[in-house]
Amino acid sequence: MASAFRPQQARIPPALAIPIPLLTKAIGNLFCFIYRFKIGLCQLTVTPDKKRNIKHARKAIKEAAQKGAQLVVLPEIWNSPYSNDSFPVYAEDIDAGHDASPSTAMLAEVSGQLKITIVGGSIPERCGDKLYNTCCIFGTDGKLKAKHRKIHLFDIDIPGKLTFMESKTFTAGETPTIVDTDVGRIGIGICHDICFEELAMIYASRGAHLICYPGAFNMTSGPSHWELLQRSRAADNQLYVATCSPARDAGAGYIAWGHSTLVGPFGDVIATTEHDEDIIIAEIDYSILEQRRTRIPLAKQRRGDLYRLVDIRRLDAHCRL
């Protein structure tokens, strides 16, 4: 009966298997795969002083690494106040690097020095005459492995509570971002990207172990949606979800909710914090992924005869082969 439901056709192209993690450990002359590692979520206070923000982020990354984190995640817009007036002023030319992008130059330097993977939150990126809300991922060699430009811009108008139009300054990104690192295959989203289950489904179908969402939910959406969306994305796709928020500043024009969190593949909150500045250290165990998927085999129960998710970019690449 299950074959009549055509579960393999519920994902177009067909879903990829989860890859074996790249982490290895030498035991004598042999190497074994390591499925467990520590993640550090750095919930940072952001100020108008960009140099201070960069110095402070560097210190937090080093502290997380000293506590055993092999993957460190920073918040959304950690080098700049979160405002449309600030984004053009604090924007950096990431592709030019070095002096043109002191924030990413620091991330490259620290990741290489400490031999860790960094999901660098996000910063305002200037590219030509456009601005993007961009996350950079650096490998253990200090090199830029991937760059994710926020796909879904945060435009919201709740009368009497909050109005913010990110699209007034930022241009939307056009490409889902998934990257193979020394700590597994990671999908990247930024803040409002988490509201769109299709993106997470694409990452799961591409074999992600983990999705990282640097995000700055606010005092309106945070209490209702922040934890709910994280747990939903993790449970629906049976993978890990990590989020990292700025710390709350009650005097800021845009007040972040905080509550950076790691959620497991069963939708369980593994570690979280409140709204103050903090560094969360938690363990990720990829061996649990297969266990969860075996016990509740959602992939085998999908109804390809009734619905299908089409990964446009993967399909286009597949058709060109």
Q: Which residues are catalytic?
A: 76, 150, 191
What beta strand segments (E) does the chain contain?
Answer: 11-12, 24-27, 30-33, 36-43, 69-73, 117-119, 123-127, 130-138, 144-149, 155-158, 162-165, 177-181, 184-188, 210-214, 240-244, 261-263, 269-272, 278-285, 309-310
Task: Give the orientation angle of helix 227-237 with respect to helix 197-205, to 10 degrees.
Answer: 30
Question: By the 8 A CB rule, do 216 and 186 touch?
Answer: no
Using the Cα atoms of residue 122, residue 240, residue 272 and residue 269 in order, give the sign of their dihedral: positive
CA–CA distance, 248 with 150 (Å, rounded to integer): 22
Q: Which amino acid is at 277?
A: E
Concatenated DSSP letters of 233-272? HHHHHTSEEEEE-PPP-TTSSS-B----EEE-TTS-EEEE
Tokens matching residue 162: 């909050």
N- to C-terminal Cα distance for the chain? 33
DSSP code of residue 217: -
d(CA 24, CA 171): 39
Going by C-alpha positions, the residue among 194, 273, 280 that lies closest to residue 237 is: 194
**Residue among 78, 42, 80 at smallest CA distance from 60:** 42
Helix axes 50-66, 102-114, angle to 10 degrees: 20
Residue 173 CB-density burial (10 A; 0-12 exposed, 13-18 middle, 19+ buried): buried
